[in-house]
Chains A and B, each alone.
Chain A
Amino acid sequence: MKWKLTAGIAVLVFIIFIAACQSEGDLEFKRYYTSGALVYENHCQNCHGANGEGLSALIPPLSDSAYLRKNATKLPCNLKNGLKGSITVKGKGFDDTMPANDLSPVEIAQVLTYIGNSFGNKLNTIDEQSVQKNLLDCK
């Protein structure tokens, strides 16, 4: 009888731990996402649009999940230092210049999390540590 009770409590504690862990990750995502929305509005929206739609053949849309996934490790550098040269987004070519942005690593992580989970994209949370790591490899 006694061991049953102990086992029961152990299982309960385990479940609580799992739930707590999940909501911790969830909370982190929400923190990044909501802050990212603000960074987006202040630094990206004028050009890329409120719905990430871009502008004709001048400014690319941000709704190409495949592009975002493929270039995930380069994106922090692109945001910080700007982007030159031609790229293909959603099957269309773009060759204008994106200016550099004075963003901190955490802001980059926040806005990438926001973009990665808006406009039809569904990517993971991008945290500050991985952004810092990626920034070391900027060309």
Chain B
Amino acid sequence: MKNTLLCGLAIMLLWSACKSNSTDKKALPIYGNRTPVTKMVNGKQVTDTIYPTVSKFATVNQYGDSVNNNSLNGYIYVADFFFTTCPSICPVMHRNMLNVYSAFKGASNLKIISYTIDPKHDSVTVLKKYADKLGVSGNIWWFLQGKKEDIYKLSESYLVRKPEEDAKQQFIHDGSFLLIDKQKRIRGSYDGTDPKQVDQLITDIKTLQTEPDEMTAQ
């Protein structure tokens, strides 16, 4: 008797947990450590929360056009780090990123940017050829070449593992896809090698697209 009661209770708890999960449509989290800032606005003391944002950068894309952080103003974007001769995780990352690209091919407020961590080899010509072979055209998905030290440093502001080179001069890097909002804050981090997580990314982009521009952090 007692067992049946407990069992029933457990089932009810489980059911309600599932139910609240399926009905709640939560806003995406904002990543990183927040800093409270107190300032005077119209003679009143106001406390504001500052979220970490992606650092400034200067690069060129596969068309030879210069691209910096300002080029992404007003865009939601997805970022990753790769190199064209990568034998391990990059092909699977970009196979999955192609799904994101196809899903938002017509979108006017989204960009995808892939920073090469091997700028010595991955010149503009190499990046263009890579994009062509991948089947990427237009200005939604940019492949960016910058100074190696700058890109390595930049990766820290995306909260990913800083790329390294091992004894064989091979690059070790993070396979994450980062979702960045219009305020350049990190709103999601996904394993780019896992198709399921990339599906979640596509869902989260749609959620982020419906978020009002002036929405402030909770």
Query: B94 on the interface (CB 8 Å rule)?
Result: yes
Tell me the bound Cα distance from A96 to B92 in angstroms: 16
Cβ distance B200 to chain A, nearest Cβ, rounded Å? 19
Give A84-101 as 1s and 0s: 1 = Cβ < 8 Å from B's Cβ atoms. 000000000000110100
Q: Do B133 and A56 touch (CB < 8 A)? A: yes
Tell me the bound Cα distance from A97 to B86 in angstroms: 11
Interface SS of A by simple majority: loop
* Interface residue from B91, B92, B133, B193 paired with A57 (Cβ < 8 Å): B133
Tell me the bound Cα distance from A58 to B127 in angstroms: 12
Q: For residue A97, which residue of chain B has the nearest CB?
A: B85
* Interface residue from A47, A57, A59, A97 paired with B135 (Cβ < 8 Å): A57
Q: Do B85 and A47 touch (CB < 8 A)? A: no
Cβ distance A10 to chain B, nearest Cβ, rounded Å? 58
What class of interface size applies to chain A in its complex with B?
10 to 19
* Interface residue from B89, B95, B134 paired with A49 (Cβ < 8 Å): B95
Cβ distance A80 to chain B, nearest Cβ, rounded Å? 15
Q: Do A55 and B85 touch (CB < 8 A)? A: no
Q: For residue A99, which residue of chain B has the nearest CB?
A: B87
Residues of A within 8 A of B134 (CB): 55-58
A47-B87, A97-B85, A99-B87 known; A58-B92 Cβ under 8 A: no
Residues of A within 8 A of B94 (CB): 55
Tell me the bound Cα distance from A97 to B126 in angstroms: 14
Residues of B within 8 A of A104 (CB): none
Q: For residue A100, which residue of chain B has the nearest CB?
A: B87
Query: A46 on the interface (CB 8 Å rule)?
Result: yes
Residues of A within 8 A of B88 (CB): 46
Give A48-61 as 1s and 0s: 1 = Cβ < 8 Å from B's Cβ atoms. 01000001111100
Q: Do B91 and A55 touch (CB < 8 A)? A: yes
Tell me the bound Cα distance from A49 to B95 in angstroms: 9
Residues of B within 8 A of A57 (CB): 132-135
Tell me the bound Cα distance from A48 to B134 in angstroms: 14
Tell me the bound Cα distance from A59 to B130 in angstroms: 11
Residues of A within 8 A of B89 (CB): 46
Residues of A within 8 A of B98 (CB): 56
Cβ distance A91 to chain B, nearest Cβ, rounded Å? 16
Contact sample, A vs B, 7 pairs, CB 8 Å cutoff: A46-B87, A47-B87, A55-B94, A56-B134, A56-B135, A59-B91, A99-B87
Residues of B within 8 A of A (CB): 85, 87-89, 91-92, 94-95, 98, 130, 132-135, 193
Residues of A within 8 A of B (CB): 45-47, 49, 55-59, 96-97, 99
Give 10 closest A-B pairs by Cβ, nearest first: A57-B133, A47-B91, A99-B87, A56-B135, A46-B92, A58-B133, A56-B134, A55-B91, A55-B95, A46-B91
